[in-house]
Structure 1
Amino acid sequence: MIPASPALRRTAPLAIAAALVASVISPISAPPAAYAAADSALEIFVSPEGSNGGAGSEASPYRTLEKARAVIRSMKASQGLPDGGVTVTLREGDYERDTSFELAKQDSGEEGAPIVYRAYPGEDVRLHGGRVLDGDDFTPAGTDGVGARLSDSVRSSVMQIDLGAAGVGDLGGILQTGYGLPPGDEPAEIFFDGAPMTVARFPNAGSFVKTGTVSDPGGNPRQVLGGNATSRPLDPVYDDGATFRYADERPETWASTEGAWMYGYWYWDWADGNLPIDSIDAATNQVSTKNASHYTVRSNQRYYYYNVPEELDAPGEYYLDRGANVLYFLPPAPLAGTTVDLSLLTEPIVQIDGASHVTFSGIGFENSRGDGIRIASGDHNRVVDSTLANLGGWGARIEGGVDNIVHRSEITRTGHGGVFVGGGDRPTLTRADNAATENTIHDFSRLALTYNPGVMLSGVGNTAADNHIFDAPHQAIAFEGNDHMIEYNDVHDVVQDTADSGAIYTVRDWSWTGTVIRYNYIHDVGGATAPGHDQEGIYLDDLTSGITVVGNVLENVPLAFLIGGGRSNTIENNLVINSSRGLSLDDRGTNWAAGHCAPNGGMQKSLEKMPYQQELWAGRYPWLVGLLTDQPCIPKYNSVQRNVFKDSAAPSIAGSAAANGTIADNWVTTDDLRFVDETGGDLTLSPDSPVFAKVPGFEPLPFERMRKSTREPLEPLDLGLTGWSGAGHPSTEQVHGGTSSHAVVADREILTHTGELRQEGTVTVWFWDDASDTSMQVAANASTGDTGSLFRALGVATTTSTSHYVSRIGTSFVATSVPRSTGWHRFEWVYGDGDALELRIDGTSVATDASSPAFDRIQLGDWWADGRSGSVYFDDVSID
C-alpha cells in the first residue's frame, strides 16, 4: 500500500501544495499578495541609480538594501509594522555586494505582515557577488610576465584586463578541496554571457588523462583520521604528497609548475579532489604533488591539469595572474559591447539568521564564490520565483528554523549543490518542515564533483517535492536524518561522470530512518563519460534501513535499486523499465562490509547517540529497539513486493534477505504494458494495462504529476502572449479551449501577465465557476496594479454575495446583477477613449469607471489568505 500514516499525511501532496502556495507571498511579476490585499501596507523602492538620501519612493528610490532595512527597523521600533507588512521593490540592475546582506531577528515580518524583497515587475534584478567588468576595458594580451607564456597560436585572440584598475583587490587563492575535506573558499571565477568559463586546463573540458604507475601513493588521510577531515588547517598527513608517472609529456613544455594544480578521481570514482603540483621530473616522466589525496593515489585514475597559462588555448578559457592582478581571457565571442562577471564574495549573498516571515521574490542571486542565500535560523521564510546561478557554493542553504522554503526557482551552475534543506531536532524527532519544491535544478556540482546533490535533506521532517533535477556528475537527491519526504521529482541525466552512486542516495546509519521516497520519475541515469555500469536510481548504501520506497518509475537506469544489505526497507509498487539490473538486495553486512555493523562499530556508535530505545523513538521505529541483539548484519524484514520490471533483469535477492523478508508478486516481463502515450513520454498505465491483472494490488501511479521533462510545454492559456509568471496549475478537468485551463488551488496564488501599457483594448478572460461553493474569494484583474484604488476586478467573493458575481473598482467588492451559475462565464474589461472603463460579465455591463486610463497586466487568482479558494478555473485569455 502507498503510505498514508498520520505522520505522512502531514506532507501529503495536496496538503503540501496548498500550504506552500498559500504561504508564498508574491509571484515574480505581481505585487506581493499581502501588500495587494492591504491598502495600508508600505512599499519602499531601491535602485542602483538611487540615493540613500532619497525618499524611498518610486520617483526617489534608495540606493542600497541596507538603507531600506534601516528604515524598516526604525519604523518597527517606533510604530510597528503596517497591517500588510512592507514590500521592498528593487528596480532593474546589478547590486554588487562586497558583504552579505544580513537579516536578523529585528528584521522579521509577522504573520499577515511579511517583509518582502521583490524585483520590480518585468525587470531583471541581480544581487551580484562580485564585479561587472566592461568588455570594452579589455585589451589584447601583451608579452610581459605571464603573457609571455601564452601560446603563439592563440596570443592574438587572448584579451587581458588590469583588475586593480577595475577596482578589484583580493582574488583569493586556490585551496585543496574535495571529498573528505572540510569546506573552503572556492576560487574567483569569470562568467560570460551567463555561462561559467573554464580555468586554463589540459586536456580541455570533457577529457581526462590517467595516472600511470604510482611509485608513492602519498599519505592516507582517511585511514589516519578514521574518517573525514573536519577543520582547517588540515592534519599533517595531508602534507605527504604522492608521486606517479604521467602518460602525456605536456607538463614538460610549461615554463613553470608554480601555481599549477590537478583535479581528479584519485582512488575511487566517487571521490574527487584537487592536488597542487610540487614538481615534474622529465627524466622519469613523474609528477609529485605537494599534498595527499584523501584515499591516496592509485594508477589508472582520471585527472586533468589546470591553472596553467600555457594551456589557455580554447575559447572560454581564462587565467588569473594573482600576483599581477591581471585576467587573461580567450573569449568565445567578441568582447566589445559586452560585460564579464567576476565572482569575489565568499560569504552568502544574503544571510538570514533569526529573521522570520521574510520573502525574496523574483531576484537573481548570482556570481559569487560562496552560496546564494543562507537561512541559518528563523521561520516561515521564502525564496520564490528567483534565480540562483553562477555561484561557487550552494544555491541556497536552509540550516535551521521551521517552514522555510525555496520554491519555484531556478538553481543552476552552482559550484557545489543546489538546495541544502536542514533543520529539526533528531533526539526529539521534532520536524522542521523546511522544503525545496517546484524548482528547476540543473548543471550543479561544477567545482565539487561528488556529494553535492541538487537537493540535500538533513535533520528531521523536511521535503524535496516536485523538483526537476538534471545534468550533474553525481547525485540528484541525498538525505540523512529522519522522516523526510522525497516525492514527485523528475530526475534525469545525473551520475554522469561517477560510479557506485545513485540518483537518490543515503548511506550507513541505522538511525537515519523513516524517510519516504515515492512517486519520483528517475530516468536516463549515467552517461557516456560515466565509468562502467555502476550507476543506480535509488541507492540505500551500506546497511541503510527503515526506508519506504513506493510508486516510483525508473527508466533507462543501469541498476534501478541497490539495497545495500539493510533491513526493514519497503520496496513496493514501483515500475522499472529497461534496466540491465532491475534490483539488487545484497548481504554485504555478512561479508566485506561487516566492519560497519560489527559490535562497537561505526553504525552502533551512531545509533547509540540517539534515544532509540526510549518511548518516542521506540513508538516511531519499533524495529530499532532490539536491533543490536537480532543479528544486525543480516538483511532482515525487507519487503520487496508488487514491483514491475519491464525489459529489465529480474531482481537479485541474497538468500539471507529472501529467507528473512517478504519477496512476492514481482513481475518481470517484456509484455506491452499499454502506456497512455509511450512515444510522447507519458508512462501512465492505461486502465486496461496487464499490470493490474498480473500484479494483484498494484496501485496506479500518478505519472502525469511525476514527469516534468517529457511533458509538452504548457499552453499559455491560449493567449498567443508570453510572460506569464506565478503559480500555474494546468488542468484538463475543465477546459474552455485548447487542452488545459488554469486551476486555482490555494490562497495567495496569482498567475500574472505583464505587458506594455495600453490605453485601449478589450481584455477577455473565461471563468469556470462551481456555483454551489459558498466559501470562495477569487478574481481576475486587468489594470495597472492590484493595490487599493488600482484594483479592477471581476470574480466571486462570497463574503459579499454567495448568489451573484462581484466587481471591484478600488477597495471594495460590489455584488453585480449577474447571478452565479455553474459553468463557463466571460469576463471583459473594455478600455476606451477618455479614460473610460466598462466591466462586463457574459455581455452584461456590471460596472463603469471614468478614471481608468490604461492597463498593463492581467492577473488571475486569489490574493487573500482567508482559506477561500473554491473550484474555479481560468482559460482563453485574450486582448483585442
Structure 2
Amino acid sequence: MKRICVLFTALILCGHIEAAERVVCVNPPKGGAPQGAVLASTLQKGIDLAGKYRQKGDQVTLLIGEGTYRLTKTLEMTAAQLGAQGNQLVVRPMDGASVTFLGGMDVPLTLLEKAPASEIRVRDEIRDKIYKIDLRKAGVKQIGDLRNVGAGRPSLPAWTEVFIDNEPRRICRWPNDTMELMGKVIDKGSIPRYGDFANKGGTFEYCGNRPSTWKSKPEWLSGYFAWGYADDMLKVAKMDTVAKTFTFAEAGMYGLISGEDYNRWFVMNMLEELDTPGEYYLDVPNQTVWVYLDKIPESIKVSLLAEPMLSIEGVENVEVRGISFECTRGAGIYMERTERTVVRGCRFRNIGTQAVLVGKGNAPFDYYGQQVGKEWPQVSGMLGSMPLVMWQHPSLDRQAGHNNGVVDCVIYNVGGGGINMGGGNRLTLELGGNYVQNCSISHYNRIEKSSRPAIYICGVGNRISNCEIFDAPSTAIQFNGNDHLIEYCNIHNVCSEIDDLGAIYNGRDKTELGNKLMYNYVHHLSAKHRVAGFYHDDGACNMTVIGNILYKAGLHPVLVGGGSDHYYENNIFIDCPYGLYIDDRMTHWGDNDDTNNTFKSRFAEVNASQPPYSTKYPFILDYINNDYHNPVRNNFTRNLFYNVTTLVRAGERPYERAYYNMTNSWITWSGHGYPAPGFVDEANENWNLKPDAEVFKQIPGFKAIPFDKIGFTMPANTWKD
C-alpha cells in the first residue's frame, strides 16, 4: 500500500498519465520524475527512447521538464525511430512546467557596443542609442541574409531577425509607418509573368527629397510595384539623385506600373535609417547586428535555425502538446505522411516562415516566372515553390497523410503564413480529413505577404473550424481543391494593404468543386481598395455559402469572377458599400490563350469528364462540353441585406453584366421608416437575432445564425510570457 501511495504522489508531481504504460522524462525537477520513468539526457534521445518502447507495443508519454531548449538542428520523429504504426505517443511538458523550444539564441547583453564615432551613417543626435552586436563573439558562424520575397517567389527561411523582450523588431526602413507613392515609370523592365526572362530591372521616379539625402545607395526596396495583390522586394542597381530615380538590378514578376494608390514602396536595411527604437540593421558580411535601444532590455534574441524545429514523418498516433515554439528562421513543425497526428495547445511566435507545415513542398525554382514546367521535385521540410507548382499542377499529392490536426493553438508574429496544410487526393477525390480547429492566428505576414495566408489548405476534404484570424496585410484563408469545409471562423482586420483580393480566396480552376463556407463572421475589412470578404476569382465554381455574417466586409463582401453554380443562402450583409459583385470576365478579359489553356489543362489533369468527377459533380460536363466562359446557376436566396448602399456593383466595363438569380431576400436600412432586422444589440455588434425579429417575417424560412458559436475559445493552458 505504501508503494502505491508513493507512485501515486510521483504521478501527481509529474502530471497525470492517462493509460501510459511507459514514461520517459527529459530534464525533470529533482525528485519530480514518476517512479519507473526512464530519464533521457536530451530531447532527441528522449524521442528515440520513447520510440523504442512504442515499437514494443507500449503507449508512451514523453514528459519535458521546465526550461528553454535551444535547438541547433531539427528534432526528428520518423518511422525508423518510432515505428510507422503503434500506440499513441504524447509529447508534453510536465504539469505546470513552461517549455520553450528556441530556434535561435539569447545574446549576452555584455556584447552590446556603442556605435563608433567613425560610422558616418549613424545620426549624431541618436548615436548614444545605437548599439552593435558582433555575433561572432557569441559563437555564431553564419546569420541569415536578406533575400527576395514577394508574389511568385519561393518561401524560404527568413533572414536572421531580432527579438527584444520576446517582441519581433522591425528591420530598419523608411518610411517607418507607411509607404511612399511611386512616381512615373521610366522603364517597366522585363516581365517574367509574360515570358520575358531577361531579368532586366525597371526604373521609376521617386517623389520628395529624402532619398537624395542618403549618404549611401540603398540595397533593397520593397513594395507593390505593379498590382496591388503582388508585393515584391528587389535589389537596387542605381539611385540617381539628379533624375530622382531608382533602377532595379532585377525584374519584378509584373514589371513596373504606377498610378494607383497601392503602387507604393519603402527602403529597408539602411543603417542611416536606423532611427526608431527597436529597429535593427543587418550587416551580414561582418555577422553584426545594429539595434536602436532607448533603454537596455531584459533580453535580446536572434533567430538562427533555418530548418524546421520539429519534423514528424511517416508515423501515426503522435500528439505534441503544450510547447512554445519560438525565435527561428524556418518553420515550427513540419509533418508528412502522418496519420492521426495532432499538434494541440501549442504556441508559435516569432517564427520566420510557417508555424505548421503539413505536406511536402517543392524545390525552390532557380528563375523568376510563373511557368514551372512539368517536373519540379518535391522536398521535405520547406514550402519552397509549392504555391507556384500547385498553381501549375493543382492535382499534386503533397503526401500530407490523413486525419491530422492543429488544435487549440495560438500563432502570432510569424513571417510567412500560419498553417499550410495538404491532404487528400484530387485524382480519386479521396478525403484527407486534416483539420485546423480552434486556433488564433494573427500578425502572420511579417516578411512574406503574397500567397501566405493565415491558413492554406489544398487537396480534398479538409476542414477549418472556429479559428480567429486578424491583423494582417493580406488574405486570411486561401484554398485549392475539393470538398473543403470552412466554418465558424471569426476573420477581421485583414487585407489591410492589398487590392483585388479577399479574406477567403480561391480561383481559376473549374474543377475545384464542392467547397463550403458555413457560419463565418467576416468583418472590419477596408473598403479603400477592391477587397472582398469571399472572393471566387477567375471562373471559380460551386461554393455553398450558408449562414455567414459579413459586416463592413470590404468594398464588396462577395465577388464572383465569372464562375457558376454558387449557392448563397441565409447570409447577412451589414454596412457595406455593395452587396455583391458578379461578372462574366471569362467571356472577354479571360478569353485568351493563356487562360483558356489553363482551364483545359486542369480539366485534363483530373480527367474531369470521367468518374469520379462526372458522377459526383455532373454539372462539370456542362463546363467541359459547352461554353465554360459564361457564368450560370448562381443562386442567392433568403439573404438579408442591411444598410448596404448598392445591392450589386456594376461591372467595370460596359459589356459586363451580372449573372445571378436573387430570390426571397430582404433589403432594409436603419432609420427613414424602414423596419430593423431585429438584432439583439446592434450598437455593440451582437448579431444574434431576437426570437421575434422582423427578418423572420420578411424572409420566410430564414434561420437564426449561431453567432455565439463563432470564433476561437482560448484553451485552458492560456499562454503567458
Range class of TM-score, shorter chain: 0.7 to 0.9
Shift of 1:457: 1.2
Residue matched to 1:317: 279
The offset of 1:602, in angstroms, is 1.2
Give me the TM-score of the superposition, normalised by structure 2: 0.86
* 1:636, distance to aligned residue in structure 2 (A): 0.5
* Alpha-carbon shift at residue 663 of structure 1 (Å): 2.2
What is aligned with 1:304?
Answer: 266
Q: Deviations over 1:207-228 (max 9, x none)?
A: 1112212211111010116xxx
Alignment of 1:705-744 (within 5 A): 705-707=709-711, 724-725=716-717
| Residues 723-774 of structure 1: CA deviation (Å, up to 9, x unaligned) | 9439xxxxxxxxxxxxxxxxxxxxxxxxxx99xxxxxxxxxxxxxxxxxxxx
Matched, 1:618 2:614: yes
User: 1:597, 1:604 within 8 Å by CA — same for their partners in 2?
Assistant: no
1:575 paired with 2:572, answer yes
Q: Partner of 1:129 in structure 2?
A: 103
Q: What is the aligned partner in structure 1 of residue 222 from structure 2?
A: 263
What is the alpha-carbon distance in structure 1 between the residues aligned to residue 245 and residue 649 of structure 2? Answer: 46
- For residue 238 of structure 2, what is the aligned residue in structure 1? 279
Could you say what secondary structure the match of 1:155 adopts? Answer: helix
For 1:1-53, what per-residue CA distance to the aligned partner results, in whole angstroms no more than 9, with x for missing partners?
xxxxxxxxxxxxxxxxxxxxxxxxxxxx99999x7332x52222223999xxx
Amino acid paired to 2:45: K
1:183 CA displacement: 2.4
Find 2:127's aligned residue among 155, 169, 184: 155
Amino acid paired to 1:163: L
The CA deviation string for residues 473-531 of structure 1, in whole angstroms up to 9 with x for no partner, is 0111111111000000000001111111111111110011111011000110127xxxx
Out of 305, 324, 337, the residue aligned to residue 364 of structure 1 is 324
Show the 5 A alignment for 1:338-737.
338-399=298-359, 400-526=400-526, 532-557=528-553, 558-595=555-592, 600-652=596-648, 662-670=661-669, 671-707=675-711, 724-725=716-717
CA distance 1:431–1:112, change in 2 (3 Å): same
Corresponding position of 1:81: 57
- Give the AA of the match of 1:343: S
* Gap runs ≥5 in structure 1: 1-28, 226-235, 715-722, 727-752, 755-880
**What letter matches 2:642 in structure 1?**
K
Identity score, percent: 31
Q: Deviations over 1:654-681 (max 9, x none)?
A: 8999997532112111131111233343
Write out aligned runs for 1:154-233 (5 A): 154-204=126-176, 206-224=177-195
Q: Distance in 1 between matches of 2:282 and 2:416?
A: 21
Q: Distance in 1 between matches of 2:83 and 2:332?
A: 21
Using the TM superposition, give the Cα deviation of residue 553 of structure 1 relative to its aligned residue in structure 2, in angstroms. Answer: 0.5
* Structure 2 CA distance for partners of 1:174 and 1:579, relative to 1, 3 Å: same
Q: 1:332 to 1:545 in 2, by over 3 A?
A: farther
Q: Distance in 2 between matches of 1:393 and 1:166?
A: 25
Q: How does 1:791-802 map to 2 (within 5 A)?
A: none
- The answer to whether the 8 Å contact 1:109/1:357 transfers is no
- Aligned residue in 2 for 1:36: 17
- Could you give the per-residue CA deviations for residues 261-284 of structure 1, whole angstroms, max 9, x where no partner exists? 010000011100101111211221
466 and 657 in structure 1: CA distance in 2 versus 1, 3 angstrom threshold: farther
The whole-number CA distance in structure 1 between the counterparts of 2:702 and 2:97 is 49
Q: Is the 8 A contact 2:14 2:33 kept in 1?
A: no
Which residue identity is paired with 1:681?
E
Question: Residues of 1 paired with 2:560 and 2:519: CA distance?
Answer: 18
Distance in 2 (CA, whole Å) between partners of 1:626 and 1:563 is 19
Residues 216 and 658 (structure 1), Cα distance of their counterparts in 2 relative to 1, 3 Å cut: closer
Question: CA shift at 1:545, angstroms?
Answer: 0.3
C-alpha distance in 2 between matches for 1:73 and 1:501:
46
Matched, 1:68 2:46: yes
Question: Is the CA contact (8 Å cut-off) linking 1:109 and 1:358 kept in structure 2?
Answer: no
- Select between 265-274 and 442-451 the one with higher mean Cα deviation: 442-451
CA distance in 2, matches of 1:442, 1:152: 37
Q: Please give the alpha-carbon distance, in whole angstroms, between the structure 2 residues aligned to 1:640 and 1:323.
A: 59
Q: Contact 1:454/1:476 (CA < 8 Å) preserved in 2? A: yes
Going from structure 1 to structure 2, the CA distance change for 1:102 and 1:293 (only over 3 Å counts) comes to: same
Structure 2: which amino acid aligns with 1:565?
Answer: G
Question: What secondary structure sits across from 1:441 in the alignment?
Answer: strand
Contact 1:589 1:597 in 2 (8 A): no
- May I ask how many residue pairs the two structures share in their alignment? 657
The letter for the 2-side match of 1:638 is: N
- In 1, the alpha carbon distance for the partners of 2:14 and 2:424 equals 29
Which ranges of structure 2 fall in alignment gaps of 5 or more residues? Answer: 1-10, 360-399, 670-674
Equivalent position of 2:376 in the other structure: none
CA shift in 2, pair 1:30/1:217, >3 Å: farther
Aligned to 2:672: none
Q: Give 3-state SS (helix, strand or coil) of 1:556's partner.
A: strand
CA–CA distance in structure 1, aligned partners of residues 628 and 38 of structure 2: 69
**How many Å separate the matches in 1 of 2:700 and 2:432?**
37
For 2:632 and 2:604, the matched residues in 1 are separated by 20
Change (3 A) 1:118 1:192: same
CA contact (8 A) 2:173 2:273 kept: yes
8 Å CA contact retained: 1:406, 1:435: yes
Q: Please give the per-residue CA displacement for 1:813-845, whole angstroms capped at 9, x wherever unaligned.
A: xxxxxxxxxxxxxxxxxxxxxxxxxxxxxxxxx
Whole-angstrom distance in 2 between the partners of 1:645 and 1:427: 39
1:45–1:57 contact (8 Å) kept in structure 2: no
Q: What whole-Å deviation, never above 9, does each CA across 1:554-580 have from its counterpart, x for those lacking one?
A: 101231111111001111110011011
Residues 451-476 of structure 1 deviation map (CA, whole Å, 9 limit, x = unaligned): 21111111111111000111010111
* Residues 315 and 330 in structure 1, CA contact (< 8 A), matched pair in contact too: yes
Distance in 1 separating the partners of 2:658 and 2:560: 16
CA distance in 1, matches of 2:37, 2:105: 27
**1:601-655 Cα shifts (integer Å, max 9, x gaps):** 2112112211212222112111102322322111111111111100003432889
What secondary structure sits across from 1:342 in the alignment? strand
1: CA distance between counterparts of 2:244 and 2:356?
Answer: 44
The match for 1:251 is 211
Secondary structure in 2 matching 1:522: strand
Task: Tell me if structure 1 keeps the 8 A contact 2:578–2:649.
Answer: no
Deviations 1:180-223 (A, max 9, x none): 1222332110111221101111111x211122122111110101
The CA deviation at 1:376 is: 1.7
The amino acid of 1:413's aligned partner reads: N
- Kindly state the Cα deviation for residue 422 of structure 1 after the two structures are TM-superposed: 0.8
After superposition, the C-alpha distances for 1:335-363 in whole angstroms (9 at most, x for unaligned) are 3xx21111111111111111221111110
Flag the 1:250–1:307 CA change in 2: closer, same or farther, 3 A. Answer: same
Distance in 1, matches of 2:113 and 2:660, equals 70
Root-mean-square deviation (CA), in Å?
2.8
Name the counterpart of 1:873. none
